[in-house]
Structure 1
Amino acid sequence: MNAAARMWLMLIGALPAEAKNVLVTGGVLRSHHLAVVPVVEGLLERGHNVTFVLPNTREAQAWFPKGIGAANLVFLGDESASVADVKFPDMKNLRWYERIRVFGRMIWKGRSWLEGPLLALVDDLLRLLENNKFDVAFSSAMSIGCNAALKSSSLPWVGFVSLPPMPQMVLSDTEEVCKYPNMINPRPVPELQSSLLKRVQNRVECMMQRTFFHVGFLVVNSVLRGRGLEPAKDFSNLFLAAHTNVLLGGPPLSLPIKLPEGVHLVGTVERRRPRSLPTAMGRWLDDAGAVAAPVIYVSMGTKYEFTESTCLNFVAVLQALMSYGFHILWSLRAAQQEAFRHLLPSASDQLMIEEFTPQPEVLAHPAVKVFLSHCGWGGVTDTLAAGVPVLAYPSFADQLDNAQRLVEVGAALLVLPDFSNLVQAAKSVVGSSSFVQGTRDAALDLHKYGGLERTLNLVEEVSEGRFPEIAPHAKAKMAQMDPLFLRDHGLEKALSILFGLLVFLSFSCCCGISLRCCCYCCCTRPTKSPQDDKKKVE
């Protein structure tokens, strides 16, 4: 298709459609809601009426103090939906037994988290649907309770997964999922191609993760049944519950996989109109740019928790970075600032620490040269839009895979858990234009998926009862699957089962030996004979 034809199609897509009443849900965390804001703004610009549902908690009521244009913000549920006490630990700096303890706590508390933050809005949402006429809904995949309520209604809706298409969340067949790099330790594809041992290790780790996910899936379905809602068919159905689903990302920042029907890749969804920077922050950045000092922007998302030892290491490295002429803008939540007040250095011409920063606008400032990020997809989207390379410091879940893909396209360097390579990595990224070029190339690739315009078109088409086809570009990209993921993995499966049996037998033997030792020590005490007593008397 030539440029003129593409421009004509874009103009047709931009023509105002009949105004629709659109219901939007944003998920659980602040980052989930921020991800849908560009869609809310885009729908408003097209003349639609938008009702944006948020949790009725103190923190959520402070997220958008000025509102979002003409959108009707509706707060549902109660304080049980609060996620203020939910912590995301610094997983990569935990020992293996500490990680097991964290996962066990997540399973133990999973039901209370589900009945609180994830399902507190359901009853109020059902009443909202009964008392109002909506034409279509656009709902975050993290709004699990809201999505279950939407499934029970007749309202057409579009599901929104603010993540790239990860096999663990998109594919339902465990055998297919475990051919791909696992979520916790995503190895490079060339490493898996060249080593049978690595493929077996990857499969064992994948099966452990799938077991954990399956336990969580059973808990979710139990809670949904208890609320009289339809349970999900499988784990992937929790995230792809609608007939039409929008996912971000796509190759080269995700691996090509076979997408289920009704799943549409859109690349990135960005705000059309940037916000202005706070005056003091803008002046500080301008001053750094005036002396040609490279600024490192630091943000670990809305829930990542520094430990005291991690913060101590990081502050020490910050001092080293500033000695090399770097300026640091650090976005650190108020609670974390209070917890580590005794460790944090004072603000200066080289260091600014803020509770919240308008991330896309900060990254777009010409003085910002590097982004130290936990690699959540929101951060990835923002940094690609600005063309700023990344120092990747992922913690868990999709962040690890996002970081690996950024490294593979030449847009990032990985930072070690103790920050010991941070200074050298920052100097390398700033000193080479190849990282900026890698970031821009990746951004150009993602823009070809259609972005915000494609997303808005999908919402409008679904509101009119149409179920659009997957875009040709996305279909072609996802069809370019590596032969490693297409062939049978029978040998890897057999060896992983053998490994599991050996671990089970070893564990059983250790338990048996320990039990015998306990029995021997406790049950075979020496007895006194009458002769011994007689000798003692004598």
Structure 2
Amino acid sequence: MLANLGSWGLVVNTFSDLEGTYLDHLRNEDHGNPRVWAVGPLAPSGGTASAAERGGPVSVPADKVAAWLDGCEEGSVVYVAFGTQAMLSPPAAAALAAGLERSGARFVWAARAGTAVPEVFEEAGGGPGLVIRGWAPQVAILGHPAVGSFVTHCGWNSVMEAAAAGVALLAWPMGADQFTNAQLVVEAGVGVRVCEGGPSSVPDPDELARAVAESVGEPGRERRERAKAMGTRTMQATTEGGSSYEDLEKLVGELSKLVTM
């Protein structure tokens, strides 16, 4: 934050519709730097990024994930992923598995290598859901019509990718900025808390099952609709005339002045 205060400018992967209040605060000359540009969400368009393109091995090829999702009803699947750093403890993984199973919802679980996942879940498409080991084609999964909600640690990249895809979030923040990110999506009406704390935190399986079931059922319809509306607004922000589009043009203009000076 001290470096930000002393910097020439600040470029942020966000958009005004989501964080306008905070961007205005950063732009206040009494508190920060007026050169602040929100140019997000920065996410691959079209949802075509594959696991191989992300640079890691994967247990289920992207085309098989897409084929599995194609067989599911619209908005009926819960996607579960906690980023590249956090690995759930065995008790936490067991509680998550129990919650998913009791919810009755279909799911795609991107589990890090070493995560204790029930054997029945490991059967590719043969159990209640699909488990992916290694890199998951997250943008493509979130962009699939079958996906209705996302159990996430609320890392900022995941939040932005979900916002761009118009997918509601089930927040399980584990560290750093993830707690404030989770609070942000809850306040925006597109998320709900299901657990919090490090990878060793253990959610109540029954409460988690209820939240998961609601997220893709009728009780979660309003939240899903708000998430879809946010997805539309992210598209508007990044197209010509949108807030992020205009901020990027302003940034280019300022950089051009520096080059010509």
**Counterpart pick for 2:77 among 278, 285, 295:** 295
Q: 1:384 aligns with which of 163, 169, 172?
A: 163
Report the residue type matching 1:448 in the other structure.
Answer: A
Is the counterpart of residue 263 in structure 1 residue 36 in structure 2? Answer: yes
* Percent pairwise identity: 25
Equivalent of 1:248, from 13, 16, 19?
13
Give 3-state SS (helix, strand or coil) of 1:381's partner: helix
Relative distance call for 1:395 and 1:276 in structure 2 (3 A) is: closer
2:129 corresponding residue in structure 1:
351
Change (3 A) 1:331 1:359: same
Q: Which one of 167, 178, 185 corresponds to residue 399 of structure 1?
A: 178
In structure 2, do the counterparts of structure 1 residues 466 and 441 end up closer, same or farther at CA, with 3 Å as the change threshold?
farther
Residue 287 to residue 241, structure 1, CA distance change in 2 (3 Å)? farther
Separation in structure 2 between the aligned mates of residue 346 and residue 294 of structure 1, nearest angstrom: 20
* CA positional deviation for 1:298: 0.5
- Residue 352 of structure 1: SS of its match in structure 2? strand
Deviation at 1:242, TM superposition (A): 4.4
Moved over 6 A (4+): none
C-alpha separation between the residues in 2 aligned to 1:361 and 1:451? 25
Give the Cα–Cα distance (whole angstroms) in 2 for the partners of residues 246 and 344 of structure 1: 45
CA RMSD of aligned residues (A): 2.9
Larger Rg: 1
Number of the residue aligned with 2:30 = none
DSSP 3-state at the match of 1:246? strand
Contact 2:37 2:248 in 1 (8 A): no
Contact 2:16 2:243 in 1 (8 A): no
Check 1:265–1:456 CA distance in 2 against 1; reply closer, same or farther (3 A cut): closer
Residue 395 of structure 1: CA displacement? 1.2
Distance 1:331 1:342, change over 3 A: closer
Matches within 5 A, 1:166-315: 169=1, 234=2, 237=3, 239=4, 242-250=7-15, 253-254=18-19, 255-256=21-22, 257-259=25-27, 260-275=33-48, 278-289=62-73, 294-315=76-97
2:255 maps to 1:457:
no
For the residue of structure 2 that corresponds to 1:465, the secondary structure is: helix
CA contact (8 A) 2:26 2:34 kept: no
Say which structure is richer in helix: 1
**Per-residue CA distance 1:248-307 (angstroms, 9 max, x = gap):** 335553443242221212342232343166221111111223xx6811100111111211
Unmatched segments (≥5 aa) in structure 1: 1-168, 170-233, 468-538
> Taking structure 1 as reference, are residues 344 and 316 closer, same or farther at Cα in structure 2, changes over 3 Å only?
same
Structure 1 counterpart of 2:66, one-letter code: G
Alpha-carbon separation, structure 1, partners of 2:176 and 2:49: 32
Pick the aligned partner of 1:448 from 237, 240, 251. Answer: 237
1:285 to 1:351, Cα distance in 2 relative to 1, 3 A: same
Contact map agreement 2:37 2:251 (CA 8 A) in 1: no
Contact 1:268 1:381 in 2 (8 A): yes
Q: TM-score, normalised by structure 1?
A: 0.38
**What's the TM-score, normalizing by structure 2?**
0.73
SS at match of 1:394: coil
Q: CA deviation at 1:362?
A: 0.6
- Whose RCO is larger (CA < 8 A, sep 6+)? 2
Report how far residue 380 of structure 1 moved: 1.2
For 2:172 and 2:221, locate their aligned partners in 1 and report how far apart those are by CA, in whole Å: 21
Letter of the 2:208 partner, please give it.
L
Deviation, structure 1 residue 400: 1.0
The 1-side partners of 2:75 and 2:249 are apart by 43
TM-superposed CA distance for 1:427, in Å, is 2.5
Q: Is the 8 A contact 2:141 2:147 kept in 1?
A: yes
Letter of the 2:129 partner, please give it: L
Q: Is the CA contact 1:391–1:412 (under 8 Å) kept in the aligned structure 2?
A: yes
**Residue aligned with 2:45, SS:** coil
- Structure 1 344/304 Cα, relative in aligned 2: closer, same or farther at 3 Å? farther
